[in-house]
């Protein structure tokens, strides 16, 4: 590997640490501001917490779009979603050192709505191929700004459904005591700025490494960028699991993934105006994401708990996914287009 690529590797590690630090500030400030202003749990979970823990993925999509490498950002989001579904619950279950509880709301509403989110994004890509095909290219279509509004509308429906479950919410006035709103807003701004700058350098360096190694930017996004941007979600969920809040831990995973797919990807399209999606690349990856979601859904539904054995099964499934991606990158298998 060249000296330039080695420098890029160092930048990736430094940027990952910066993303982790900035995300910690962002999540802490978001939670305290939500409490200070008396926001209902639906806003804290579906908006504040989701944006807080998913901002690295959103920033990666935006940064990639601005740098003309939206495929890298989309790959990061899809890879992050697979990482979140398989690795984070597995690590949370292992950290819990015992069965981690779920509930029917988590299984039948959050998990199933998340599967709907995956379906809506695939339908959006399908419509791009059908109605806006790229000239001279097979199974490549253009996702336009109007098409990008479809998943955004779905996320609006998600927030609306959540709001119906907490219509009678009454804010706890005592929770505001001891919170300095001005300081929290400053911390929030510092977190946002840190993540934006770090992700900018992360995307640039990963793109350069991919070019040096001859690896497609989508695959670099699915692996390297996805792991880096998923670090905040991992820490939040593992911490919740250790505090014996399994439902919160798993709910963060599903809520963050719903935000990533329905908001972060369309945000990149809205910025650059349009994006050419390779359907032959997207469908296998979304197929893996669907299988991973079904795996987690099955694990959670059995007695509404996740055992240690089931947690390790999720981790093994992710290792199989990584092995497949590596095999694709080196040309051993050819399911994905070159």
pLDDT in tens, 155-184: 988 888 777 766 666 656 666 777 888 898
- CA 148 to chain CA centroid, Å, is 17
Compare 105 and 131 and report the one with higher pLDDT: 131
Which of 22-26, 243-247, 266-270 has the least mean pLDDT? Answer: 243-247
Give the span between the Cα atoms of 27 and 33, in whole angstroms.
Answer: 10
Residue 56's nearest CA partner among 12, 28, 18 is: 18
Q: Domains of the chain by range and CATH?
A: 3-162+183-329 (1.20.1420.30)
What's the whole-model pTM score? 0.80
The candidate with the shortest Cα–Cα distance to 221, out of 71, 81, 332, 19, is 71
Q: State the chain's mean pLDDT as an integer.
A: 81
User: To the nearest whole percent, how much of the chain has pLDDT over 70?
Assistant: 87
The pLDDT of residue 150 is 95
Contact 278, 132 (CB under 8 A): no
Q: What does the pLDDT average to over 3-7?
A: 69
Task: Give yes or no for a contact between 54 and 43, defined as CB atoms under 8 angstroms apart.
Answer: no
At 246 the three-state DSSP class reads helix
């Amino acid at each position: 590997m060249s000296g330039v690529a080695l420098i890029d590797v160092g930048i990736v590690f430094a940027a990952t640490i910066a993303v982790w630090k900035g995300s910690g500030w962002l999540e802490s400030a978001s939670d305290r501001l939500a409490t200070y202003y008396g926001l209902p749990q639906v806003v804290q979970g579906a908006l504040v917490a989701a944006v807080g823990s998913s901002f690295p993925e959103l920033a990666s999509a935006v940064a990639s779009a601005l740098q003309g490498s939206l495929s890298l950002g989309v790959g990061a989001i899809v890879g992050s979603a697979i990482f979140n579904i398989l690795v984070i619950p597995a690590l949370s279950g292992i950290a819990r050192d015992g069965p981690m509880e779920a509930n029917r709301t988590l299984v039948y509403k959050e998990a199933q709505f998340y599967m709907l989110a995956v379906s809506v994004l695939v339908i959006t890509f399908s419509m791009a191929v059908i109605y806006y095909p790229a000239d001279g290219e097979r199974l490549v279509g253009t996702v336009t700004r109007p098409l990008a509004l479809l998943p955004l509308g779905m996320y609006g429906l998600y927030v609306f459904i959540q709001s119906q479950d907490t219509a009678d919410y009454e804010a706890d006035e005592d929770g505001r005591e001891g919170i300095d709103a001005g300081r929290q807003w400053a911390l929030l701004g510092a977190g946002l700025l840190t993540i934006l700058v770090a992700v900018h350098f992360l995307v640039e360096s990963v793109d350069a490494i991919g070019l040096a190694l001859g690896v497609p930017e989508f695959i670099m996004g699915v692996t390297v960028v996805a792991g880096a941007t998923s670090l905040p979600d991992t820490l939040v969920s593992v911490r919740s699991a250790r505090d014996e809040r399994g439902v919160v831990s798993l709910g963060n995973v599903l809520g963050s993934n719903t935000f990533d797919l329905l908001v972060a990807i369309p945000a990149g399209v809205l910025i650059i105006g349009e994006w050419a999606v390779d359907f032959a690349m997207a469908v296998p990856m979304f197929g893996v994401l669907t299988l991973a979601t079904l795996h987690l859904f099955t694990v959670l539904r059995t007695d509404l708990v996740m055992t240690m054995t089931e947690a390790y099964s999720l981790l093994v499934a992710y290792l199989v996914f990584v092995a497949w991606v590596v095999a694709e990158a080196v040309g051993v298998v050819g399911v994905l287009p070159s």
